[in-house]
Homo-oligomer: A and B are copies of this chain.
Amino acid sequence: MHTIIKDLNWRYATKKFDPLKKISPADFDTIKESLRLVPSSYGLQPLKFIIVTSTGLREKLHSSAYNQSQIVDASHLIIICSYRNINDTHVDEYIANVGATRNITPDTTKGYADFMKRTVNEMGEDQKLQWNKNQAYIALGQLMQTCATLKIDATPMEGFNTEAYDTLLDLHNQNLTASLVVPMGYRHIEDQTQHQKKVRKPLDDLFTTL
């Protein structure tokens, strides 16, 4: 069995974190760099990752997420935020980054830039937000696997008050909204969930070959 499968079987949505066990700076640097490398549509990376270290702020975020203890107990807390309304500026910034990284002139990428702008501008605001939220879920998938590989526990959460989070994190003014909440750290020895067998559909139910 490949180590990927062992790692993915090891992970589970941790219910209770050990508040005394902390992620090492080296491991957290790996997590951050892995999130930087997540692929995104057109490469636009319409995301922002907020790391919440303030105890007071974590208490408030806890109250606005059904008092789930992981938000205060986990070693680290990341809020994956999506841009609400991307526009020509985001495309221009990306194209400037392509130019600087690959040392090419803007005329080389003008056709692609125009194509991206047309696509972005043809979408309504809701559609753009949804597109950017999709990217948050790609990041989540990779983050779960990176954590499992590093033997770090993580509990992805959709169940929180988005409006309250956007206010507490001052996201409105930054054209952002909170998409996903991910407490990370180490399972508490008392968390009985770790002993439960993982429930998944059988392969035959999930895969079809045509």
Contacts and interface: CB of A to CB of B under 8 A. Distances in A.
A113 interface: no
A52 to B, nearest CB: 5
Interface stretch (A15-23, A141-149, A183-191): A141-149
Nearest to A138: B141
A5 B30 contact: yes
Contacts of A48: 206-208
A169 interface: yes
Contacts of A196: 102
Interface in A49-101: 49-54, 57, 94, 97-98, 101
B45 A30 contact: no
B142 A98 contact: no
Contact of A158 (B41, B143, B146): B41
Most buried by B among A145, A150, A203: A145
Interface string A108-142: 00000000000000000000001001110111111
For chain A, the bracket of interface size reads: 35 or more
A53 B210 contact: yes
A27 to B, nearest CB: 8
A198 B37 contact: yes
Contact of A33 (B5, B50, B54, B143): B5
Given A141-B141, A145-B146, A169 B134 contact: no
Interface of A: 2, 4-5, 8-9, 11, 13, 30, 32-39, 41, 43, 45, 47-54, 57, 94, 97-98, 101-102, 130, 133-135, 137-146, 149-150, 156, 158, 169, 196-201, 203, 206-210
